[in-house]
Structure 1
Amino acid sequence: MNTTLILAIITITLALIFYTIGVFSERRSGELNWKHVGLFALGLIFDTTGTTIMSGLVTAGNAANPLHQITGMLAILLMAFHLIWAIIVLLRKNEKAKATFHKFSLVVWLFWLIPYVIGMLIGMGI
């Protein structure tokens, strides 16, 4: 396994770790706060970095899986929207929105898992 692929796997796994901690700590606390936003941002940064590294590994002879590409791009866009919306909710200081934001976070996290699992299955040759 080449070192670039290992780096991509590590960064995408860090995205999973940070995003998961952010989503479930927000859910457990019952209210969105800036710590959660920071964890969402780290998840997005690591996912984007890992995806960028991984896309550099795709060559003409090694075509990418279209489902993985589409769901991966949608997941990054959804994560970015999620992060921006979380910032807006906190800046507006809407208590109801802060208390229910975790529902949206869970949906985004579940969608993000789709390309993560597809990529894992592709990597295992399944």
Structure 2
Amino acid sequence: MNGLLVSAIVTISLALVFYTIGVWSEHKEKVLKKIHAVYFGLGLIFDTTGTTLMSIIAGKKDISNLTTFYIHRFTGGLAIMLMLVHFLWAIYVLIKGSEKAKENFHRFSVIVWGFWLIPYFVGMFMGMRG
């Protein structure tokens, strides 16, 4: 396993850890706090970094299953965009949002997190298949 692949796996895994901590701690506490936005931001940074590294690796490989590759690429790009919207919305809610908005934010968080898992597991499946 080369260093670039190890770096990509570590950063994607850190994205999962940080994003999961942010989403589920916010969901459990039932109110959005600054620390949750920090975790969302860290998840976004590590996911974007890991995705960039994986794209570099994929560019060097012969992709045998193009359908799975394109599904992964589409859902991964959409997941990063959703994470960005989620992060920016969290900042907005923290600065200008009402208490009700802070209390209802967790519903969107869980949806984005659940969607983010699709490209995470598709990518893992693709990696295991070679």
TM-score bracket, shorter-length normalisation = over 0.9
- Mark the runs of 5 or more structure 2 residues left unpaired by the alignment: none
Percent of counterpart pairs with the same letter? 54
Q: Which residue of 1 aligns with 2:54?
A: 54
| 1:55-74 map, 5 Å | 55-59=55-59, 61-63=61-63, 65-74=69-78
How far is 1:30 from its partner?
1.1
How far is 1:31 from its partner?
0.3
What TM-score do the two structures reach when normalised by structure 2? Answer: 0.93
How far is 1:28 from its partner?
1.0
Equivalent AA in structure 2 for residue 99 of structure 1: E
How far is 1:59 from its partner?
2.7
How far is 1:93 from its partner?
3.6
Cα distance in 2 for residues equivalent to 1:73 and 1:19:
16
- Mark the runs of 5 or more structure 1 residues left unpaired by the alignment: none
What TM-score do the two structures reach when normalised by structure 1? Answer: 0.96
Question: Which residue, 116, 120, 123 being the options, matches 1:116?
Answer: 120
| 1:8-47 map, 5 Å | 8-47=8-47
Number of aligned residues: 126
Instruction: Give me the CA root mean square deviation.
Output: 1.3
- Does residue 1:2 correspond to 2:2, yes or no? yes
SS at match of 2:31: coil
How far is 1:61 from its partner?
4.7
SS at match of 1:101: helix
Equivalent AA in structure 2 for residue 31 of structure 1: V
Cα distance in 1 for residues equivalent to 2:60 and 2:17:
32
4+ residue runs of structure 1 moved beyond 6 angstroms? none
